[in-house]
Amino acid sequence: MLLRSVLAVATLSLMGCNVGSDDDSSGSVADGDCSTSAQNEYVYQQLKTNYLWPETIPSNINSASYSSPETLLNALRYRTYDKYSYITTEAKYNAQSNNEFKAIGIYFKWLVEDGEDVLIVRYTDENSPARLAGVVRGDEIIEIDGMTISEYIKKIEELNYDSWEKVRQGFGNPNDYVFKMRRTDNSEYTVSLIPVTYSTNTVHDLKFFDTSANKVAYFSYKNFSSASRDEFKSAFSQIRANQADALILDLRMNPGGSILTANHLATRIAGAQVSSQTFANFMFSAQRSNENFVYPFKNDEVSDAVANLNTLYVLTSSSTCSASELIINSLKPFIDVKVVGGKTCGKPIGMTGHSFCGNILFPIEFQLTNARNEGGYFSGISPSCEVEDDYAHRFGDENDPLLATALRLSAGESCPTPKPFNRLNRQAATDQSFMIQGEPSQFKENFF
């Protein structure tokens, strides 16, 4: 089980807001030297040359004094805006790019209610051990390996390791986990789970709804994988066949992905009206301003677009990030986009991957704006209609508060007054997310 913040950065060719990876640009690991000091120096030189905020990087430090490249990166990141730069292994990156995960497959919400830590299951991956064992959205995790959630979290904080794998090893039993769970009907059950490698699709729960005003298509989308294009083709073929004139795109669990894939999706949504228009402007640091460029919508996707789409409704949460936010921002100049749910995470920036010694460094390198040069949403994109998730209804269930609200809006009704989430009938809950060395708390979404 990987108890960690979900890693998802938007990339132009693969994961996250990121322009893929290369073998080198400025700086290199000298003569194949993969000592810690050589790797540290490589990361330092990349930041000095390619970072979006090079003025924040000290001009002369002893990179060898840091215990690892991850420690150096964490020490030098520009904390005002950069919660995202990270280092991963090539193997992990390639697996995630193919929607392959070694995990249990539980996405949870960590809340503190009346001083008590509460973990609520937001979603379980298809094909994951959790899904196959019957763990469902809305279940509460009340114990892990015999410890209460507060005890478990306290131990994580005490261990203070630089990776979740090391944290789990510190518990002495990294390969199997025993969860005590509570259903929404208050019945309890215990389940033992072991992480396995599994793959998932990205497009889920395609459904159609008839309102008093129109026919509405809905689907949830998990992450902007390069493997999504065939799934898009199938989904939009059905949307056209059903003559939907509004679309509800559920991105509340989508932390980002390929910018190229985001472009394909946006073009299928908006169609001919965005042909040859600007999808995004890429803007680098002042010292790299000659590399700035305009990225147009994908004309080759126009023929597969939804015909007569009037409005796009996007369901969001604090886990809606990066390429998901880019969809919203890039389409706003061209179609009516209504954001329903919670404020997004706030990542109008992206990264490029640099390979070294079996690892990939992803530093923030550019900002993204739309055709009207609008961007800079570091505080998140605020919803047009604020709605609290209740975590009790499955995605695609018309009783789900976010979907139900979007359907009412599409029928011409007004936005309802938001109701605070109160899972255990206590005082208003507050969001929490994990933070360990080297893996910043990127989103208020966490993953086992």
> Which position has the token pair 């990349």?
46
pLDDT in tens, 298-316: 877 777 787 778 799 999 9
Q: Residue 432 corresponds to which tokens in the numbers above?
A: 């929490």
Contact (CB, 8 A) for 110 and 433: yes
Give pLDDT tens digits for 39-72: 999 999 999 999 999 999 999 899 999 999 999 9
Nearest-angstrom CA–CA distance, 240 and 271: 12
Q: Exposed, middle or buried by CB within 10 Å (0-12, 13-18, 19+), for 383?
A: buried
Query: What per-residue confidence (pLDDT) applies to 168?
Result: 56
Q: What is the pTM of this model?
A: 0.87
| 3-state secondary structure (DSSP) of residue 383 | coil
Helix 259-270 and helix 229-241: axis angle, to 10°? 10
Which pLDDT does position 164 carry in this prediction? 53
pLDDT at res. 422 = 55
| Beta-carbon contacts of residue 310 (< 8 Å; ≥ 6 apart) | 214, 245, 246, 336
**List of domains in the chain:** 1-99+201-419+435-448 (3.90.226.10), 105-199 (2.30.42.10)
Give how far Cα 440 sits from Cα of 73, 74, 433, 437, Å. 11, 8, 10, 7
Residues in the chain predicted with pLDDT less than 70, given as ranges, are 1-31, 159-175, 420-445
Three-class SS of residue 448?
A: coil
Give the integer Cα–Cα distance in Å for 184 and 393: 10
pLDDT at residue 21 in the model: 43
Distance CA 395, CA 212 (A): 22
Q: Which candidate, 63, 3, 66, places its Cα nearest to that of 27?
A: 63
Q: Which two tokens stand for residue 29?
A: 């690991």
Residues 402 and 390: their CA atoms lie apart, in Å, by: 9
3-state secondary structure of 176: coil
- pLDDT score recorded for residue 380: 97
Residue 11 pLDDT: 32
According to the model, what pLDDT value does residue 141 have?
94
